[in-house]
Amino acid sequence: MFERTSGILMHITSLPSPHGIGTLGNAAYDFVDFLEAAGQRYWQVLPLGHTGFGDSPYQCFSAAAGNYLLIDLDTLVKDGLLTEAEVRAAEFKHTPDKVDYISLAETRPSLLRRAFARVDEEMQKKISLFRRKNRDWIEDYALFMALKEEKYEGRALWDWPEKDVRSRQPAALRRAKAELKDEIDFRVLLQYLFFEQWTALRTYANEHGVQIIGDIPIYVSPDSSDVWQHPELFKLKPDFSPKKVAGVPPDYYSETGQLWGNPVYDWKAHEESGFQWWIWRMKSNMALFDVIRIDHFRGLESYWEVTAGAENAIKGRWCKGPGMKLLNALEAALGKLPVVAEDLGIITDKVRALLDESGFPGMKVLIFAFDVWNDNEHLPHNYKPNMIVYTSTHDSQSVCEQVMDICNEDEKQFAYRYLRSSTSEALGWSAIKSVWASCANITMTTMQDVLSLGADARMNVPSTVGGNWSWRVRKEGINREVARMLREITETYKRYRPYQPPKRPKPRKAPEASETAEVSEAAAQD
């Protein structure tokens, strides 16, 4: 399924957009142009969801909703929903290097409410159509957010004071919907704007030979519309708080393991339902992305379960996952899956067997490889064709930071020798060449490694809260010379493959006014 190609991992928030955070506006289109000029096939992004705890894209309020902070304000000005003066008035002091999520949370919602007040009749028709087409999730999500943020002042699901609302009693839900109608409509508008802008960007990327790799976190947030809508699919207490939570035991990243806090699935309930929720989730993501990365793939074979309330992830147990039962159900419903698997961590023979049977490309990371005493599997000469391999990732140090931090002098010198790095070449470029020269079908790097950046550019430190997910690239770093150098490396190692996007059907003639009602009614049945 995957040709010998390459790409760059960088999240939308890291783009050098104006107004304090990377968005789906001009900077995103400029980055697509950069990728095209650099000969890259893939742009990998992190989960696009509405972030909650710690601003992490892996802790979202919904498995389907988009992050309203990614909505581009300049596009709203162009569309007449905001004025330039209003955008200027909502500005705050920000830097081009970091996202200030606290200031964004204080200023962005009120600005977007101005856009909500300007929705006209024509746009309302489009929003209504969007709402009907996404009715399987958007009504519950919009009501959940209206309840959580407006009525219950940000309280977590299990702390909601009205038990009949929490337990989804029909009369209580009807009452809440009537009470919060305007707030629900506002949340729906934000989703409409997000998906309109995302669809336009992805279309542009595909037309310019760039495919998008999306990311599915294996778990959902405990405080989410997903848990509220489908409590029977998770291991929960009667108050909807997690009974058992996910994580990983002590590993490369942490001596005490990683305690994620996400509720683990009741896989028996999923199987009894024919894995319908997972089929819906995968189908939704296949509509958004060209390729999908399943985060923590090893959790489908067996997963680390910890009792909720534990201080760390040391005391837990391995539990059996759904394995090929889930993957077979997904393929039966959706066809061949365009999936790559994040199979890092504690990998057993059973996990390897599941990966082999699935046929998905597994993952390797160069910076995990510099072990002078062993022939490490993360070294490029050990890669296999059916792999997606990285110089570094959003969860790790950059190549420069990692190599410079190696305390053992033998290991540090081994890294320099292996990368064939000289004083005249930046470590990031040496790493890219080493990975690009391998036999792996897909090779990926980060913008941090393209620019040979260090510790100040780290995106996330696992098992920590605060200060993560905020790195942004400087506009001047995305330039023609960098694109030329990366294009040269890509062509040298025979990874340049011009992508021919599938031909899209020609749009039908716009319906006459008399036909509009029929078209809308047909869409409602979609």
DSSP per residue, 407-465: --HHHHHHHHHHHT--TTS-HHHHHHHHHHTSS-SEEEEEHHHHTT--GGG----TT--
Domain containing 335: what range? 230-275+296-360
- Phi first, then psi, for residue 445 (nearest 5°) are -135, 175
pLDDT exceeds 80 at position 54: yes
Give the DSSP letter of residue 403: H
- pLDDT the model gives residue 518: 39
Specify whether 355 is located in the same domain as 466.
no
Please state the rounded mean pLDDT for residues 75-91: 97
- pLDDT the model gives residue 517: 38
Specify whether 41 is located in the same domain as 162.
yes
pLDDT exceeds 70 at position 445: yes
DSSP string, 187-243: HHHHHHHHHHHHHHHHHHHHHTT-EEEEEE-SS--SSSHHHHH-GGGB-B-TTSSBS
Distance between CA atoms of residues 157 and 227, nearest Å: 9
pLDDT exceeds 80 at position 434: yes
Specify whether 49 is located in the same domain as 172.
yes
What's the pLDDT tens digit per position in 200-244? 999 999 999 999 999 999 999 999 999 999 999 999 999 999 999
Q: Give yes or no: 150 in active site.
A: no
Q: Please name which of 213, 170, 166, 100 lies closest in space to residue 444, comparing C-alpha atoms.
A: 213
Specify whether 51 is located in the same domain as 132.
yes
What is the percent of the chain where pLDDT is above 90? 87
pLDDT exceeds 90 at position 20: yes
Q: Please name which of 155, 78, 79, 154 lies closest in space to residue 109, comparing C-alpha atoms.
A: 154
Instruction: Give the SS3 label for residue 388.
Output: strand
Going by DSSP bridges, is the β-strand pair 258-263/317-320 parallel, antiparallel, or unpaired? unpaired
Distance between CA atoms of residues 456 and 392, nearest Å: 15
Final residue belonging to a domain, choices 339, 360, 381? 360
Specify whether 417 is located in the same domain as 490.
yes
More confident residue, 382 or 524: 382
CATH number where 504 lies:
3.20.20.80
Instruction: Give the SS3 label for residue 144.
Output: helix
Please state the rounded mean pLDDT for residues 185-197: 98
Total structural domains in the chain?
2
Distance between CA atoms of residues 371 and 380, nearest Å: 13
DSSP string, 43-57: EE----B-B-GGG-T
Q: What is the mean pLDDT of the chain?
A: 93
Helices (H), 50-169: 73-78, 84-89, 101-117, 121-133, 138-145, 163-166
pLDDT exceeds 80 at position 317: yes
Composition of the chain by helix, strand, coil, percent to 5: 45, 10, 40
**Active site residue: 91, 266, 395, 411, which one?**
395
Please state the rounded mean pLDDT for residues 493-514: 63
Specify whether 438 is located in the same domain as 380.
yes
Distance between CA atoms of residues 392 and 390, nearest Å: 5
Q: Give yes or no: 266 in active site.
A: no
Q: How confident is the model at residue 511 (pLDDT cuts 50, 70, 90)?
A: very low
pLDDT exceeds 80 at position 192: yes
Please state the rounded mean pLDDT for residues 243-272: 91
Q: Give yes or no: 295 in active site.
A: yes
What's the pLDDT tens digit per position in 341-391? 999 988 999 999 999 999 999 999 999 999 889 999 999 999 999 999 999
Contact yes or no for 189/119 (Cβ under 8 A): yes
Specify whether 201 is located in the same domain as 243.
no
Stated pTM of the model: 0.93
**Active site residue: 295, 331, 371, 411, which one?**
295
Query: Would residue 281 count as lying in a domain?
Result: no
Instruction: Give the SS3 label for residue 386.
Output: coil
Contact yes or no for 230/277 (Cβ under 8 A): yes
Please state the rounded mean pLDDT for residues 255-264: 91
Query: Would residue 282 count as lying in a domain?
Result: no
What is the percent of the chain where pLDDT is above 70? 94
**Active site residue: 342, 343, 401, 449, which one?**
342
- pLDDT the model gives residue 513: 37
- pLDDT the model gives residue 501: 66
Specify whether 109 is located in the same domain as 257.
no
Instruction: Give the SS3 label for residue 261.
Output: strand
Final residue belonging to a domain, choices 360, 377, 394? 360
Give the DSSP letter of residue 63: S
